[in-house]
Homo-oligomer: A and B are copies of this chain.
Amino acid sequence: MSHAELLLLDLFVMFGAAKLLGEICERLRQPAVVGEILAGVLLGPSLLNFIQPDETLRGLAEIGVIFLLFTIGLEVKPAQLLRVGATASLVALLGVLLSFAFGFWYMKASAHPTAESVFLAAAMVATSVGITARVLQDARVLDAPFARLILAAAVLDDILGMIVLALVTSLTQERVHYVQLAIAAAEAIGFCVFIVFFGSKLVSRLDSTVARLGGKNPFFVLSVLLCLGLSLASVYVGMAAIVGAFLAGLALADYSAQWRLQESIVPIYEFLGPFFFVLLGLQVNLHALSQPALLSMLAVVTLIAILSKLIGCSLGALSLGVKDALRVGIGMLPHGEVGLIIASVGLRLKAISDQVYTVALLMSIITTLLAPPILRLTLPPSRRESPSPPVAASIPP
């Protein structure tokens, strides 16, 4: 089979399995995204070993998660995000500080080298907003204050994560470049602030220009270019591509209805998004859990990761009341691919061992898998999406 044919087979199996298990999860009142990740676990090395992820699947998954964050950004107005800015900073900062401190303390206490302790602690700092955003979107609570707070805090967390990664990377090189670090941080913060403050205004200028130029689907083309362009810009200033995609959505949010962006962007996400979540599952290798030493370390590390985020982020969000604060804490749990990226940098720099890398990888995946069902439980039942809509509703008039 040629590469193109193998790709078709992979896509068919991944898409089908994701939708099937997603639907089963929905019926069990679990988030569909959990089913999609489980589809990956099922197809991956732990069980069926049917799909070997290659660069092409990784690329498709990357585009899928970019379009997820883009569609989520489209539903959020920058003003709403700015309103929660101060609280979000507190949430992000407390979560990062507690995670790093507890992570580092445990590693040092169990006699790991400093460099390794620093990298595992850094991997515990990460928050991947993709999963939480998807659960919030599926449950239709993206407009609730606590949901805005999670989104804002997760973006800030990515900035902090970038600073932490830059810091620990220079630590292992036994020389900290404080000036470079400050410049990188300033760039990332400046980029985010610029888009949040001026993105909408720039887009409103483009609106009349594009309308005057005409052409075929000009708003669709502009939106896709803005999404890809800001994702790229985000990478250039040292952050994850999904942060840029989310900011692009924010900038376009005011025009989302007028340009009918949801109608044209959501189908792209509906097709490509599942590949991202299946790929997350494909990276889980349950066989690694057969080593008892690894298993106990994993249990402790995961517990610390969960408690420090839960306590730190909830404390930061206490002004919303205890219930919403807890939701924020749970929403900030998934370490997702951001934790994996930090751990893999540590592995590349030979700062951490294969064993610690596996722990970091599994901790990232466990927090990612645990958060959605717990978060869903805390969401008000009245706003839960009905798991099986009446037949009439699914047939257009």
Contacts and interface: CB of A to CB of B under 8 A. Distances in A.
Number of copies: 2
Nearest to A7: B59
Nearest to A227: B12
A214 to B, nearest CB: 5
Say whether chain A's binding surface is mostly helix, strand, loop, or mixed: helix
A310 to B, nearest CB: 30
Contacts of A55: 3, 54-56
A54 B395 CA distance: 41
A307 interface: no
A250 to B, nearest CB: 19
The interface size bin for chain A is 35 or more
Given A3-B55, A216-B26, A267-B268, A12 B394 contact: no
B391 A58 contact: no
B395 A211 contact: yes
A354 interface: no
Interface string A21-34: 01100100000100
Nearest to A220: B270
Interface stretch (A145-153, A186-194, A257-265): A257-265
23 contacts: A3-B59, A4-B62, A4-B241, A5-B235, A8-B66, A8-B241, A11-B63, A12-B225, A12-B228, A19-B221, A23-B215, A32-B216, A60-B60, A211-B391, A211-B394, A211-B395, A215-B388, A215-B394, A219-B394, A258-B396, A263-B267, A267-B268, A268-B268
Given A1-B235, A4-B58, A224-B271, 7 more contacts: A4-B241, A12-B225, A12-B229, A15-B228, A23-B216, A26-B216, A211-B394
